[in-house]
Amino acid sequence: MEINEFISRFKEALQKNHSIIFGAQCSVNYNGRAESFLRQGDRIVIVKPDKTLLIHQPSGAAPVNYMKEGTSINIFNSNDKKAVIKSKNLNLKEYLTLEISRIYFLQNHELVDGEKIQLAGTEKDMADMLIKEAHLIEKGFKPVSQEEQTKYGFIDVLGYDKDNILTVIECKRYVGDLKAVSQLRRYVEKIKSSKGIRQVRGILACPKISPNAKRMLLDFGFQFKRVEPPKYLEQYDKKQRKLFDY
């Protein structure tokens, strides 16, 4: 595609507030929270109606460069037969420039999507499960109400063990690591000082724990409890997996 045609079509798409996707050989220049430069190469660029800008290289899951929602975008023709896209986000003081030397394709469409993703198996789901099925922590464990939790802020599960000792539980949906133990420790200390209680138990509930995290956990007198994040749609999973046996 010729540069001038690209520029006029891109401008028109911006005007219409379409979703814009193009493939191009370009270099990228970013200045804001950090600074970056990316030499010329082939990339996929997306401009969304909310003025999010994404630049993807032909490999990897994360965009190599991007601008957040609410970015202002301008395009013009440089002297040397290149298209230049300048984007800026004044609130965030971020600036990104694309120098485009070759265009492979351009698509723009009005895309409509009001749906929100439904997700199961999160840390919150784990906490909900542990409150409903307290025996998964240990026999005689009594979780306190959910409202009581929010009063203390960000503690996943708070309760009393069979000996009525206040217990803080931190859930992790995957491997418990040093950060998780530090976090648990912070909460236990917060509870101790805010409630003026000397003895508070700490439990890290997760499917696995790293060796160093386990050592640190035990050093602080905390405990590890193996818990799997709940799979609400397990029945459905099995069906799905079967369908994949092609």
* Interface of this chain with DNA, residues 119 to 138, rule: CB under 7 A: 119, 121-124
Q: Which of residues 122-181 bind a copy of itself (CB under 8 A)?
A: 122, 151-153, 173-174, 178-179
Q: Of these, 6, 10, 83, 88, which contacts a copy of itself (CB under 8 A)?
A: 88
Q: Say whether residue 207 binds a copy of itself (CB under 8 A).
A: no
Q: Say whether residue 183 binds a copy of itself (CB under 8 A).
A: yes
Site string for a copy of itself, 36-55 (x = CB under 8 A): xxxxxxxxx-x-xxx-x-x-
Q: Of these, 4, 17, 36, 193, which contacts DNA (CB under 7 A)?
A: 36
CB of residue 198 to a copy of itself, shortest distance in Å: 18
SS3 string, 4-52, reads HHHHHHHHHHHHCCCEEEEEEEEEEEEECCCEEEEEEEEEEEEECCCCC
Q: How is residue 114 written in tokens?
A: 């009001």
- Distance between CA 166 and CA 157 in Å, rounded? 11
Burial tier of 58 (Cβ tally within 10 Å: 0-12, 13-18, 19+): exposed
Q: Of these, 80, 113, 147, 163, which contacts a copy of itself (CB under 8 A)?
A: 113
- Distance between CA 184 and CA 203 in Å, rounded? 8
CB of residue 154 to a copy of itself, shortest distance in Å: 10
Stretch that binds DNA, among 4-12, 74-82, 89-97, 128-136 (CB under 7 A): 89-97
Q: How far is CA 21 from the centre of its chain?
A: 23
State the Cα angle at 136 between 130 and 140, rounded to 5°: 100
- Distance between CA 181 and CA 200 in Å, rounded? 15
Q: How is residue 56 written in tokens?
A: 């993807």
Q: Which does residue 19 touch among DNA, a copy of itself, none (CB within 5 to 8 A, set by kind)?
A: a copy of itself
Which residues make Cβ contacts (< 8 Å) with residue 19, sequence separation at least 6?
46, 47, 48, 49, 108, 109, 110, 111
How many binding residues for a copy of itself (CB under 8 A)?
82
Q: Say whether residue 216 binds a copy of itself (CB under 8 A).
A: yes
CB of residue 138 to DNA, shortest distance in Å: 21
Q: Say whether residue 99 binds DNA (CB under 7 A).
A: no
Which of left, alpha, beta for 193 (phi over 0: left; psi -120 to 50: alpha)? alpha
Which amino acid appears at position 44 of this protein? Answer: I
By C-beta, is 58 or 139 nearer to DNA?
58
How many residues make up the chain in this entry? 246
Q: Say whether residue 17 binds DNA (CB under 7 A).
A: no
Chain residues in the site for DNA (CB under 7 A): 30, 32-34, 36, 60-62, 64-69, 91-92, 94, 96, 116-117, 119, 121-124, 149-154, 156, 170, 172-175, 177-179, 183, 186, 208, 210-213
